[in-house]
Structure 1
Amino acid sequence: PKVHELHFMDIQQMEINGIDCIVSRSGYTGEDGFEISLPAEQAVTFASTLMNADEVEWIGLGARDSLRLECGLCLYGHDLDQTTTPVEAGLMWAISPARRHGGAREGGFPGAEVILHQIESQRVTRKRVGLVGVTKVPVREGTELFDEKGNKIGVVTSGTVGPSAEKPIAMAYVRSDWAVIDQTIFAEVRGKRIAMRVVKMPFIPQRYFRG
């Protein structure tokens, strides 16, 4: 019952069925959910107990991946890496005001010189965008993107047919001048250029419990 007291991103130690756990009301799907940490030797017993509930089913990482993509959440190694800044990725919330120019604790974090300059100038060469397919053809990670003249302008970092969105969706990094809502760009799939439209993310509304 204690989990009902938690809001999104709250974390608390609690005992569940006699097992000491750390529970957070978070999860990487965009839905209201929980992450539970517990001693490894108790994991099988705990999971088996959960599976005894009629409303619980196993689900794999493929489903986690489609859910997080539909909710516009980045995955490290795909949509983020050591060459990506929060400004390019549209994750400015990750840089608190205290760490920005003029803040109480300005800088002092990895990449601060580059990132603070990008914030100040509002200039980056690429930006993360959401894409929706004009056709029903799925567009996968690594697919190159072009303008109508055939100039390469970006690459897809995550893509699938959204099971909830019911259409092809993708996240990509494109040249900044093409990161414009409703702009049409073209993905090269099996030698053909497939039209896609730049849209605002998330593709499906996030449903975290914020109280």
Structure 2
Amino acid sequence: MSQDLLVTPLHALHIEMGAKMVPFAGYDMPVQYALGVRKEHLHCREHAGLFDVSHMGQVRLHGAGAAKAIEALVPVDIIDLPEGKQRYAFFTNEQGGILDDLMVTNFGDHLFVVVNAACKEQDIAHIQAHLPADVELEIIEDRALLALQGPKAADVLVRLNPAVSDMVFMDATKIELLGVECYVSRSGYTGEDGYEISVPNDKAEALARELLAFSEVEWIGLGARDSLRLECGLCLYGHDIDTTTTPVEASLLWGISKARRADGERAGGFPGANLVLEQIKTKDVARKRVGLLGQSKAPVREGSKLFDAADNEIGIVTSGTFGPSKGSPVAMAYVKTDCAVIGTEIFAEVRGKKLPMTVEKMPFVPQRYYRG
């Protein structure tokens, strides 16, 4: 392992459990365990998977103006975010591009924000640069982050604290697990029901071991995390979304609150709003993010060029793998807007061959978030 790589509080446990470690976002992270990527993926879909996501950035924002300050940076309502609720958001730049996507939770006395590992330093600097004097940003360095995902996740976690059964998708609360206060949200990055748990560093290993002691739970590495999120149509920052893609091009209109794109006093008010709102109004974008389903068994990887039936180059794959649950190759791509129609046949260039794919509605497999 390179001396330059950071480690999470669970690093020693990953090594003990036989994980294959790889560099990821500056950290030494587990890409897979003894089960292997495919079996880990299927185990999470059928039972419950445990993920170490402690490489993500966690911050608290204190002060009465915190919600207003964050709302000025994202096309999402934060001011009216109810206490005990979490919301997906993304930072935009002046060109309407996406700087990062993030989760914002209102815990009443503060906002709790989780950002992507690869972007956390720039995100924290971006927030800090736009905060008024009465808002304090606190970087959380003493807490790990675990995700427990899958149809059995609730059955497992309820044994540690029955209160989690009352939560629905995007609820968040502070509760005790193994006698220590944790921040728990009913959310995740797999399309399955599940929870994300912020736990003090010195209690993270004990909590992980307790969860792994249940027969339903297995460690899941980055490999299966990627195939799980891709099957469920969830973007990976730096691949499917970045500073050059707007939310409209990225098919993320659902991530822009209605009040921020309708006429009224709350409309706009975020970086790049004029461009984004004009794209929403006119639907005039040159490309769109789409889902692609392979018609052969060969996976189509990121960077593969895409062609129409007349052999014109029309786009590029941004994420691609074989979907173990779907039973076929799945991919996300940006294609010319007139090709972004469900059912359109597109050809991906793989090792000199043109493999047929079909534009498919995402998610490729049903999302199973618990909404009550």
User: What TM-score range do you get, normalising by the shorter chain?
Assistant: over 0.9
- SS state at 2:164 partner: helix
2:220 corresponds to which of 56, 59, 65: 59
Q: Quote the residue 1:99 is aligned against.
A: 260
1:117 corresponds to which of 268, 278, 291: 278
Residue 149 (structure 1) shift: 2.3
Q: What percent identity do the matched residue pairs reach?
A: 64
Map 1:76-91 to 2 at 5 A.
76-91=237-252
1:172 corresponds to which of 293, 316, 333: 333
1:143 corresponds to which of 304, 308, 333: 304
Structure 1 residues not aligned, in runs of 5+: none
| Counterpart-to-counterpart distance in 1, 2:307 and 2:261 | 35
Q: Which has the higher strand share?
A: 2
- SS state at 1:196 partner: strand
Alignment deviations for residues 3-49 of structure 1 (CA, whole Å, 9 cap, x no partner): 10000010000001101100000010000010000111111111111
Q: Is the 8 A contact 1:78 1:158 kept in 2?
A: yes
| Counterpart-to-counterpart distance in 2, 1:198 and 1:39 | 44
Map 1:66-81 to 2 at 5 A.
66-81=227-242
Q: Quote the residue 1:159 is aligned against.
A: 320
| Counterpart-to-counterpart distance in 2, 1:93 and 1:25 | 19
Residue 113 (structure 1) shift: 1.6
1:20 corresponds to which of 181, 198, 201: 181
Alignment deviations for residues 64-104 of structure 1 (CA, whole Å, 9 cap, x no partner): 11111111111111111011111111111222122124132
- Is residue 185 of structure 2 the alignment partner of residue 35 of structure 1? no
Q: Quote the residue 1:203 is aligned against.
A: 364
- SS state at 1:72 partner: coil
- SS state at 1:3 partner: helix
Letter of the 2:193 counterpart:
D
| Counterpart-to-counterpart distance in 2, 1:48 and 1:155 | 42
Count of residues in correspondence between the two structures: 211
Q: Quote the residue 1:10 is aligned against.
A: 171
| Counterpart-to-counterpart distance in 2, 1:152 and 1:5 | 50
| Counterpart-to-counterpart distance in 1, 2:323 and 2:366 | 13
Q: Quote the residue 1:132 is aligned against.
A: 293
- SS state at 1:87 partner: coil
- Is residue 205 of structure 2 the alignment partner of residue 44 of structure 1? yes
- SS state at 2:168 partner: coil
Q: Is the 8 A contact 1:97 1:103 kept in 2?
A: no
| Counterpart-to-counterpart distance in 2, 1:61 and 1:24 | 21
| Counterpart-to-counterpart distance in 2, 1:202 and 1:60 | 21
- SS state at 1:113 partner: helix
| Counterpart-to-counterpart distance in 1, 2:295 and 2:272 | 37
Tell me whether 171-180 or 99-108 shows the greater mean CA deviation: 99-108
Q: Is the 8 A contact 1:147 1:185 kept in 2?
A: yes
TM-score, reference length from structure 2: 0.56
Alignment deviations for residues 103-135 of structure 1 (CA, whole Å, 9 cap, x no partner): 321211122121011011111100011111111
Residue 150 (structure 1) shift: 2.1
Letter of the 2:202 counterpart:
E
Q: Is the 8 A contact 1:8 1:26 kept in 2?
A: yes
Letter of the 1:85 counterpart:
T
Alignment deviations for residues 171-202 of structure 1 (CA, whole Å, 9 cap, x no partner): 10100000011111110000111111111111
Residue 144 (structure 1) shift: 0.6
Structure 2 residues not aligned, in runs of 5+: 1-161
